[in-house]
């Protein structure tokens, strides 16, 4: 028998078996601190990529240039022992240390640009044209990283594996890459998670950065990466996620993009759903300040899935006495975008939780 589209006929039975036994409120662990430690350890185990062995970052700074009230640099560093990664680093002019933002780029099935989706590329005219088109499509014509640097934040945005300078992928090759890493005992999503945690550590170690005020921020897949990094990194004090949050069961429905595979492997930790739902993983970040924004017309994340996730998130933050630190909002009339008005809300929230930049 066949199911509906890419769902097998028995998918309903599989969903029924997902009870998320380690979720807050379901788990037998009732002490919040103990639950958080237990849940985080389970997430870490399912990354399939172990913590790094202290590989030095060994940053190399190049392509320095002046922006509008900030300086720009490319930095090449070792986020893992497997290779070097290039990112864009923006630093406000003036006396630091400054608050910082780890800016995590989206997927979008566009691989020629990565860090350039968040930071205007001053070093490559071809990428500039691609990046400006992308900014016009999803960001109201703005480059979020540059906007943040003008406002007094150090910003770091690096290429994820398969984007920009890191062997750009073709859409149809994502599953092959994911399969190869699985066969080698690793995971595409797990590697991405480990790299993002290390990127936060790199920021925290810079003299120009106030290590107590580092926020992770991202749109779409970058939004997923933002709350995941907040859950896994002690260097991240807060996170803002735009257009990536849902209950897993509610996402696994006919027609959803996740069922196509390909891009899904960047956010898939095999077996983790036997223990925790997606918002449960984000809940490991509590009681950190967190902002979740969703577009009411976003077809990638059905409204019922967002409601389920938001309810779970509220329960977690209230349980640890930090309900006021969690902000959840759905924007009516918005699709899968992070436009200028939404950005301004994030900027205002960021100032409220990290303090006004020096």
Domain CATH for 288: 3.40.50.1820
pLDDT digits (tens, 9 = 90+) for 203-220: 999 999 999 999 999 999
For the residues 315-336, what does the mean pLDDT come to? 97
Q: Is 177 exposed, middle or buried (0-12, 13-18, 19+ CB in 10 A)?
A: middle
Domain-located, residue 4: no
Q: How far is CA 297 from CA 81, 124, 211, 259, 331, in A?
A: 41, 35, 37, 19, 8
pLDDT > 60? residue 3: no
Instruction: Return the percentage of the chain with pLDDT > 90, whole number.
Output: 91
Which stretch of DSSP H or E encloses residue 202? Answer: helix 188-204
Asked if omega into 287 is within 30° of 0 (cis), the reply is yes
Domain-located, residue 5: no
pLDDT digits (tens, 9 = 90+) for 99-111: 999 999 999 999 9
Match 């890419």 to its residue by tokens: 6
Q: Give me the domain span that covers residue 325.
A: 11-354
Match 């925290």 to its residue by tokens: 204
Q: How confident is the model at residue 2 (pLDDT cuts 50, 70, 90)?
A: very low
Domain-located, residue 161: yes
How many domains is the chain partitioned into structurally?
1
Domain-located, residue 3: no
State the pTM of this model: 0.97
Instruction: Return the percentage of the chain with pLDDT > 70, whole number.
Output: 98
Domain-located, residue 338: yes
Q: How far apart are CA 16 and CA 96, in angstroms?
A: 53
Domain-located, residue 1: no
Domain-located, residue 155: yes
Q: Is 343 exposed, middle or buried (0-12, 13-18, 19+ CB in 10 A)?
A: buried
pLDDT > 70? residue 5: no
Match 């240390």 to its residue by tokens: 97
Domain-located, residue 276: yes
């Amino acid at each position: 028998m066949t199911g509906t589209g890419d769902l097998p006929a028995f998918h309903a039975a599989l969903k029924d078996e997902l009870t998320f036994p380690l979720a807050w409120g379901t788990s037998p662990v009732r002490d919040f601190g103990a639950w958080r430690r237990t849940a985080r350890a389970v997430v870490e185990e399912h990354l399939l990529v172990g913590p790094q062995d202290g590989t030095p970052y060994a940053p190399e700074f190049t392509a320095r240039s002046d922006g509008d009230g900030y300086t720009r640099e490319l930095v090449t560093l070792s986020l893992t022992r497997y290779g070097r990664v290039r990112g864009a680093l923006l630093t406000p002019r003036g006396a630091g240390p400054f608050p910082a933002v780890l800016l995590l780029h989206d997927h979008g099935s566009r691989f020629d640009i990565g860090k350039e989706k968040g930071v205007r590329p001053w070093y490559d005219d071809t990428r500039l044209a691609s990046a400006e088109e992308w900014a016009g499509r999803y960001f109201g014509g703005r480059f979020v990283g540059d906007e943040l640097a003008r406002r007094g934040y150090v910003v770091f945005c690096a290429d994820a594996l398969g984007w920009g300078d890191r062997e750009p992928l073709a859409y149809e090759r994502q599953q092959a890459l994911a399969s190869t890493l699985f066969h080698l005992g690793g995971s595409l999503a797990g590697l991405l998670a480990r790299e993002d945690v290390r990127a936060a550590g790199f920021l925290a170690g810079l003299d120009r950065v106030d290590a107590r005020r580092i926020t992770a921020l991202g749109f779409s897949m970058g939004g997923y990466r933002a709350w995941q990094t907040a859950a896994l990194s002690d260097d991240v004090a807060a996170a803002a996620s735009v257009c990536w949050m849902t209950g897993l069961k509610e996402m696994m429905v006919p027609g959803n993009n996740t069922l196509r595979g390909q891009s899904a492997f960047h956010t898939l930790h095999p077996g983790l759903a036997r223990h925790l739902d997606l918002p449960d993983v984000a809940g490991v970040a509590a009681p950190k300040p967190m902002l979740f924004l969703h577009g009411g017309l976003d077809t990638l994340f059905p409204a019922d899935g967002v409601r389920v996730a938001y309810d779970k998130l509220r329960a977690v933050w209230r349980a640890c006495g930090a309900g006021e630190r969690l902000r959840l909002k759905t924007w009516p009339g918005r699709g899968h975008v992070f436009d200028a008005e939404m950005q301004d809300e994030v900027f205002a929230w960021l100032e409220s939780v990290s303090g006004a930049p020096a």
